[in-house]
Amino acid sequence: MEILKRRILEDGACFEGGILKVDSFINHQMDPQLMKSIADEFVKRFSGIYINKIMTIEASGIAPAIMVGYQMQLPVVFAKKKEPKTMRHALTSIVHSFTKDRDYPVSISGEYLTPEDHVLCIDDFLANGNAALGMIDLINQAGATLAGMGFIIEKEFQNGGHILREKGIHVESLAIIKSLDNCQIAFK
């Protein structure tokens, strides 16, 4: 997706350890016009596939997910990172974050993820894929069906994309970064 790649080159910053900072338009301040274009691109790439629910993980996945849900006129549900105390029929998976080197729970209510659901997962980043695997685990626990997974930015030099495609999952990433070596942003 050209306008996204251009924006990443213009406003993205590279950090130690293969981290791309996009705080001015995705992760902190957000650009709704760009988010709308991102959602339109996801709608195009997943057209013809039966989907009746959009799913993501808080926090940064919510903005693109709700834009996709708006365009597809579908409900959007997000997995929460806090231990469920008052959640009814909580389903929980443990995600390991490489970036933060710790495990955290992700939970979703079985009231909002059911065997009737055909789910499109949307998230900002695909890195090692652990957050994505947490979403897949929740979908499996609920007996729902995974229809596909869409990411704004995929870091190809980490393993997530490989793991998900190996499982036969329909993965669409709108900007695929081949390398961030020497703090140079190189696209695939």
CB of 89 vs Na ion, minimal distance in Å = 24
For residue 131, what are its two tokens?
């957050």
* 124 near Na ion, judged by CB under 5 A: yes
When CB distances are held under 5 to 8 angstroms depending on the partner's kind, the choice from ligand G4P, Na ion, none that residue 93 binds is: none
Residue 73, both tokens: 């006129």
Under the criterion CB under 6 A, does residue 130 sit at the interface with ligand G4P?
Answer: yes
Q: What is the dihedral of CA 147, 6, 97, 43, to 10 degrees?
A: -10
User: For the CA atoms of 34, 40, 41, 43, what is the dihedral angle to 10 degrees?
Assistant: 150
Partnered with residue 91 across adjacent β-strands are 108
Give the tokens for residue 21.
């900072």
> Per rule CB under 5 A, is residue 60 in the interface with Na ion?
yes
End-to-end CA distance of the chain: 12
Is 27 annotated to bind a ligand? Reply is yes
Q: Judged by CB under 6 A, does residue 125 bind ligand G4P?
A: yes
Residue ranges in 79-98 that form contacts with ligand G4P under rule CB under 6 A: 97-98
* 159 assigned binding-site residue: no
Torsion of CA 120, 122, 127, 131, to 10 degrees: -70
> Which tokens is 31 given?
């650009």
Tokens, residue 12:
């993205």
The stretch among 36-44, 86-94, 118-126, 136-144 that binds ligand G4P (CB under 6 A) is 118-126
Pick one of 126, 147, 152, 164: the residue that binds ligand G4P (CB under 6 A): 126
Under the rule (CB under 5 A), what is the footprint of Na ion?
60-61, 124
What does the binding site for ligand G4P look like in residue numbers (CB under 6 A)? Answer: 19-22, 27, 57, 59-61, 97-99, 124-131, 155, 160
Binding residues: 20, 27, 127-131, 155
